[in-house]
A and B are shown apart, each in its own frame.
Chain A
Amino acid sequence: MARIKTLLAEPLVLASIAILVLLAAGEFLSPGFARGDQVTRLLTVSAILGIVAAGQSLVVIGGREGIDLSVGVLISLGAFTAGNVMNGVNGAILPAVLTAGGVTFAIGIVNGLGVTLLRIPPLVMTLGMMGVVQGGLVVLSRGAPSGNAAPMLMGFVNQPLLLGLPGILFVWALIALAMWFLLRRTSFGYAVYAMGSNERAAALTGMPTGLLRTLLYGLSGLFAGLTGVCVIGYTGNSFISVGDQYVLPSIIAVVIGGVSLAGGAGNYFGVMLGAIALTLLQSVLTTLQLEFWGRQIIFGAVLLGLMLLYGRQTQLRV
């Protein structure tokens, strides 16, 4: 029994079980839910959430109450920038991706500088940045949607590329590989974990913690910008609040994936499973044909249930 409990507390195991149960539930509720093309569709949506959650998980692993609330507006900014640079032209996809990623990376670096140099708590810094970027988007777009995805980008996100899978899934796999390599096979990764579990000790051993942390926020911005490109590829065009819906799910995917919000622990594979589980949950709840309020309550309750399994903090009485 104790062993089963330990196993269940393992986020990877739990998230995998959750995914299987949700798939079974979906198939039971609406036959065809777990069919290949449907699963591909779900994975595409999960990939979009998973890419932004990659940045979020880096910031969280880096510790000191790391969190990035600005990812939502950065997704919107990325989608807006990419959409306006390419404007439906296939040849302009690469410049669009580079511009969107560059702009959001730079804003992420500003977040990081605020957190490290000025020592503003991350929640406050990224919340403030959210207001600024939102305002910037209003100025840039004058409130009207503008910019279009190039047909090739839309095909890349929505149409099968290889083995019946769309290109975005391969990008996601590449990102997963890069995250694994970065966190587990480079000194940068080890420094991030060290800093996340004990910043003081990390700094005293000579790690440039300020630089590292600034980079983490920059990367979070970059991933948000790339997510923006995927979002506009998925829907074809964008509006200025298109990214808002990803902020809290990105944090929840990180938590479901077993990354401790206290920092210093967790890996990206868990987060990927977390993103898939969360997307599946939303999809199953839609399939249930419940009214909106019912779906919301169940969604909230399931999140609380997940917290019960491994989102708990240490007991004061030892």
Chain B
Amino acid sequence: MTGMSMRLRGRSWLVTLLALIVLVAVNAVLQPNLFTGTVLKSNLTVFLPLVLVAIGQTYVVLAGDIDLSVGAVIALVNVVTVTVIAAIGNGVGAVLLGLLAGMLTGMACGLFNGFLVAVMRFQPIVTTFATGIIFSGLALRVLPTAGLPVPAPYWRTYAGSLLGLPVTLWIFLTALLLVALLSWRPFLTHLAAVGGSRTGAFQTGLPVARIRIQGYVLAGLFSAFASLCLTGETASGDPLMGRMLALSSISAVVLGGTALAGGSGSAFGSVLGALVLGMIGNVIFFAGLPFEYQTLVQGLITLAALAGGVLVAGRQRW
């Protein structure tokens, strides 16, 4: 093994950061007005939901689990929020209660997943797929068809500014702050211990089941954040919202250097991964490729990035 990959082991987010810088540079060449406030803000609005879901997914993956239901959670949170707001009467108080209901919904979904996986010991992939089906069913029950607009204070605030900075930027910074706060707590070490060696963590006396459940609850909460952001963007209810975000969030987590087997990685890396995925889309859009080639090129670059990240991070062992 060469010296360079030795030093990069466990730090493949550095490569992702490099990729992000290159992508931003390319994007800036292709789109000269990239660094103007409006463009940056609209980019952030597009990237923010994936960034948030990817952060949440990281905590599940770190513990060696996976959550395929995050897309369905996003849909459920969205319809619950818009329904609660409409039911209470569209005022500012109603919006706040709606947001709260949405976050509680997300956490409840996470708790359900965590209970099944950690306490009942169900296999995570199939389980979260099954709960995802249930959550989408519930979402369709709450709101059968897209519609039901949210009141203006909601989307105006989301699109607006606070202290001179866009609200989306504040949300992004708050999310980073939350990640930082979580990474300073022993919880993250415990999570990684559980992911690295479940038996080892158990024998050390760690409450393995509780820690895994906490990971899922965090994933549910961050999916709820993502959903509330998407709701601010679309300003209405949609029981099919967020379909593609489950798989993209896993790509973002892997790009960010978190091992799918669990045990090592960071949510900051996942943020970088999510931004890289977003920037790939941007660059392809502005490169002027014929429309039908865009999905292919995006797929190829994403696959190359995933492969590259795994290669640099040190390959999976026996």
Contact B129 A297 (CB under 8 A): no
Most chain B CB within 10 A, of A127, A252, A300, is at A300
Contact A121 B310 (CB under 8 A): yes
17 extra A-B contacts, CB within 8 A, seeds A125-B303, A127-B247: A123-B260, A124-B254, A127-B251, A128-B307, A132-B303, A251-B125, A251-B129, A255-B126, A261-B125, A293-B141, A294-B141, A296-B133, A307-B127, A311-B123, A311-B126, A312-B120, A314-B121
Q: List 17 A-B contacts (CB under 8 A).
A: A119-B310, A121-B261, A125-B307, A131-B298, A132-B296, A132-B300, A134-B295, A139-B296, A143-B292, A293-B138, A294-B141, A297-B138, A300-B132, A304-B131, A312-B122, A314-B121, A316-B202
Q: Answer whether residue A120 sits at the interface, using C-beta atoms and an 8 A cutoff.
A: yes
Q: Answer whether residue B144 sits at the interface, using C-beta atoms and an 8 A cutoff.
A: yes
Q: Answer whether residue A248 sits at the interface, using C-beta atoms and an 8 A cutoff.
A: yes
Q: Which residues of A contact B296 (CB under 8 A)?
A: 132, 135-136, 138-139
Contact of A307 among B122, B132, B293 (CB under 8 A): B122
A-B complex: 10 closest residue pairs judged by Cβ atoms: A135-B296, A296-B137, A131-B299, A128-B303, A119-B315, A135-B295, A300-B134, A300-B133, A293-B140, A132-B299
| Closest A residue, CB atoms, query B68 | A248
- Residues 240 to 275 of chain A near chain B (Cβ within 8 Å): 248, 251-252, 255, 261
Q: What is the total number of residues of chain B having a CB less than 8 Å from a CB of chain A?
A: 50
- Residues 292 to 315 of chain B near chain A (Cβ within 8 Å): 292-300, 302-303, 306-307, 310-311, 315
Contact A120 B307 (CB under 8 A): yes
Q: With A and B bound together, what is the CA distance between A131 and B281 in angstroms?
A: 13
Q: Which residues of B contact A203 (CB under 8 A)?
A: 318
Contact B299 A316 (CB under 8 A): no
Contact B295 A307 (CB under 8 A): no
Q: Which residues of A contact B316 (CB under 8 A)?
A: 64, 119-121
Q: Answer whether residue A301 sits at the interface, using C-beta atoms and an 8 A cutoff.
A: yes
Q: Answer whether residue B208 sits at the interface, using C-beta atoms and an 8 A cutoff.
A: yes
Seen from chain B, the residues whose Cβ lies within 8 Å of a Cβ on chain A are 66, 116, 120-123, 125-127, 129-134, 136-141, 144, 198-199, 202, 208, 247, 250-251, 254, 260-261, 292-300, 302-303, 306-307, 310-311, 315-316, 318
Known A131-B298, A251-B126, A293-B144; contact A303-B133, beta-carbon cutoff 8 A = yes
Contact A124 B306 (CB under 8 A): yes
Contact B126 A124 (CB under 8 A): no
Contact A316 B292 (CB under 8 A): no
Contact B121 A128 (CB under 8 A): no
Q: Which residues of B contact A127 (CB under 8 A)?
A: 247, 250-251, 306
- Residues 22 to 75 of chain A near chain B (Cβ within 8 Å): 64-65, 67, 69
| Closest A residue, CB atoms, query B202 | A316
Contact A135 B134 (CB under 8 A): no
User: What range describes how many residues of A lie at the interface?
Assistant: 35 or more
CB distance from B178 to the nearest CB of A (A): 26
Contact B208 A252 (CB under 8 A): no
| Closest A residue, CB atoms, query B135 | A300
Q: Answer whether residue A114 sits at the interface, using C-beta atoms and an 8 A cutoff.
A: yes
Q: Which residues of B contact A132 (CB under 8 A)?
A: 296, 299-300, 303
Q: Which residues of A contact B293 (CB under 8 A)?
A: 135, 139
Contact B123 A261 (CB under 8 A): yes
Q: Which residues of A contact B250 (CB under 8 A)?
A: 123-124, 127
Q: With A and B bound together, what is the CA distance between A123 and B250 in angstroms?
A: 9
Q: With A and B bound together, what is the CA distance between A134 and B302 in angstroms?
A: 13
| Closest A residue, CB atoms, query B116 | A304
CB distance from A95 to the nearest CB of B (A): 25
Q: Which residues of A contact B297 (CB under 8 A)?
A: 135
Contact of A124 among B122, B199, B251, B294 (CB under 8 A): B251
Contact of B299 among A134, A200, A296, A308 (CB under 8 A): A134
Known A294-B137, A300-B130; contact A131-B295, beta-carbon cutoff 8 A = yes
CB distance from A126 to the nearest CB of B (A): 10
Known A121-B260, A127-B250, A128-B251; contact A307-B130, beta-carbon cutoff 8 A = yes
Q: With A and B bound together, what is the CA distance between A121 and B292 in angstroms?
A: 29
| Closest A residue, CB atoms, query B239 | A293
Q: Which residues of A contact B66 (CB under 8 A)?
A: 123
Q: Which residues of A contact B295 (CB under 8 A)?
A: 131, 134-135, 138-139
Q: With A and B bound together, what is the CA distance between A199 and B316 in angstroms?
A: 13
Q: With A and B bound together, what is the CA distance between A114 and B127 in angstroms?
A: 27
Q: Answer whether residue A118 sits at the interface, using C-beta atoms and an 8 A cutoff.
A: yes
CB distance from A151 to the nearest CB of B (A): 31
Q: Answer whether residue A289 sits at the interface, using C-beta atoms and an 8 A cutoff.
A: no
Contact A124 B260 (CB under 8 A): yes
Q: Which residues of B contact A130 (CB under 8 A)?
A: 247, 299
Contact of B303 among A129, A143, A200, A317 (CB under 8 A): A129
CB distance from A147 to the nearest CB of B (A): 17
Q: With A and B bound together, what is the CA distance between A255 and B126 in angstroms?
A: 8
Q: Which residues of B contact A299 (CB under 8 A)?
A: 133, 137
Q: Which residues of A contact B251 (CB under 8 A)?
A: 124, 127-128
Interface 1/0s, chain A 89-131, versus B by CB < 8 A? 0000000000000000000000000100011110111011111
Contact B208 A138 (CB under 8 A): no
